[in-house]
Structure 1
Amino acid sequence: MTAAAVSIPAVSGLAAAHFPNKLDIDVQPDNADNYIDVDEHDTVEVVVQPVEFLNGDGDQETFDPTAEPVRYRFGSRSMVEDGDGARPEDDGEVREFNGHDGESYEALVMEFPVDKMGFDGGEETAWLYWERDESGEHGYAGMDSVSIHGTTASNQDIIEVLQQLLSRSNE
């Protein structure tokens, strides 16, 4: 392989966006099953909690969502990886929560529109990307398990559609 062949991806702009999984999120915090009904829910609440982690240099870093710009996208992994997904309805709200050891902390709570999330019913995980800057190419990711409902037609719905089609063909 030549040096020119190795440099083509970087020169052509094909380098992938970088979003390491570092965020601590909670989808539907008042719902243990993280139930999302895409037919019934207009929005989904997501909490982004402060988190400490080791960065790429091995140094401890703290991400405080209450002190960072609100540049998030939320939804299925394929949607957020492609630069799409639901954007928060507003800048969110800072709320106080109780930690496991009785200490309190502040976290950012946002509402995301369900119709922009890209869930098709096969997902068991929802992803949140935070964009470090306006380019949207670098930042942090977080994920939470979810239970997606309302994306497939019931057997009764399918039977009704077939009956309508059959009755039209008999006319």
Structure 2
Amino acid sequence: MYSENDMQKHLYVIVDFLKYLNNKTDKFILKGGTALLLCYNLNRFSEDIDLDSSNMNIFKYIDEFCNIKNFTYRKAKDTKTVQRAFIDYGESNKLKIEVSHRNSNISKDLLVNVNGILTYNINELTNLKALAYSGRDKVRDLYDITFIINNYYEKLNEQTKMNLETILSYKGIEQY
């Protein structure tokens, strides 16, 4: 559990790492709740960094960042499809960074740079969030979809709106 002070420190490290990464390369795309929080003003805390990339060098950037900041990290997973690390920045909570290499052919048309952070446009983030919601029972996914509908519905294309309608009608809120 995070105190308010812990959340502020954790969020600072998240933003600091993403700014560092985006100043070094444009090969990592932020997605998920943290993308919604930092780039689209989601009003809930998100504690990890989820990225898409075909670049297999995330540990190089984590290592450089940690050396500059006097942090440590550990590799938790290193496969062809997923790389995961945890940064220890001196607090009880660690920052999880996970890179998926499953989608290596990402169209530049789906990407935007918001506040110096490369992420997906709101339409594509919605599609990714809807896919996550359909495959797991996490209240945060429903919360995020509700946030998108309430704040960005008019920016979604018709196919995405239909996908949301289908997913929400197929998988209601009964399991919560």
Q: Give the TM-score taking structure 2 as reference length.
A: 0.27
Q: Which structure has the bigger radius of gyration?
A: 1
More helix by percentage: 2
Q: Give the TM-score taking structure 1 as reference length.
A: 0.27
More strand by percentage: 1
